[in-house]
Amino acid sequence: MFSPALSQLAIAFPDIDPIIVQFGPLAIRWYSLAYIVGIVLGWLYARRIVRNERLWGGKAPVSVPDLDDFLLWATIGIIVGGRLGFVLFYDLPLYLEEPSRILQTWQGGMSFHGGLIGTTVAMFAFAWRRGLPVWSLIDIVSAVVPIGLFFGRVANFINSELWGRPSDVPWAVVFPTGGDIARHPSQLYEAALEGLVLLLVLRLCTHTFLKLRSPRFVTGVFIAGYGAARTFVEFYREPDFQIGYLYGDWLTMGMVLSIPMILLGLALVATAGKPAAR
């Protein structure tokens, strides 16, 4: 059990300014940079996946120019969906009282589940407009999303937000916004599981098991993998203060939104298309 006295032995929060550089009223923040770097690196990795004909058993059904044009659609889906998801799922009363705060994204407040919905809408719309096989496009995007998740969670850590529950583990951190209490650095747990581990698992699916030839499989692994990782970390992450626990002292909104993802992901894997003949 956590002991307040042990907070003195916790790791001090690194002195990292959330603002990288500022020019008058214009500030470049780590939070914004994380989204930009994640999107750009994901786009570059997706281009490599599309160019690798071995992964597809021939020419990929989605071209590099298609990905280049989709980049803007994806960016809009991530930002608009992520922000609106946070507003609707986590703190709607506050934003109804002060609608202007919806646009203040530099203060944090992005929902992965909302971003997923926004990006999914963008993928279906773009695939329909271009006449592309929608599941192949979604598989490509799913394979690269953990890159953005990794940088986003690291940015959450730098912002001293979404920290974990009180803890006396040796690596507990006292966050400047979390009171004089040592806490789990749950943002880094998520960066490791949702980012690095999930990226490696998806890399095995695409490059070793050649599952891009089975539409929906990679998407299913990503959705189920994220849902499982997020549900696990929720046991160490402090629930949003405006919501708290939904049941007992363990069920959180993050779990409620993530558990259905596990079921959906498993269903997609089970119904994935058969590999094309070589």
Contact between residue 183 and residue 165 where contact means Cβ atoms under 8 Å apart: yes
Share of the chain above pLDDT 90, in %: 61
What is the reported pLDDT for 238? 94
pLDDT at 260: 94
- Two tokens at 21? 């550089």
Q: What is the pTM of this model?
A: 0.87
Average pLDDT of the residues of the chain: 88
pLDDT of residue 108: 60
Average pLDDT of the residues in 136-146: 97
Least confident of 45-54, 178-187, 191-200: 178-187
Dihedral over Cα of 40, 121, 191, 179: its sign:
positive
Which of 21-35, 93-107, 116-130, 187-201 is predicted least confidently? 93-107
- Predicted confidence at residue 22, as pLDDT, reads 82
Burial class (CB in 10 A: 0-12, 13-18, 19+), 41: middle
Q: Tokens 């001090």 appear where? A: 12
- What was the pLDDT predicted at 277? 40
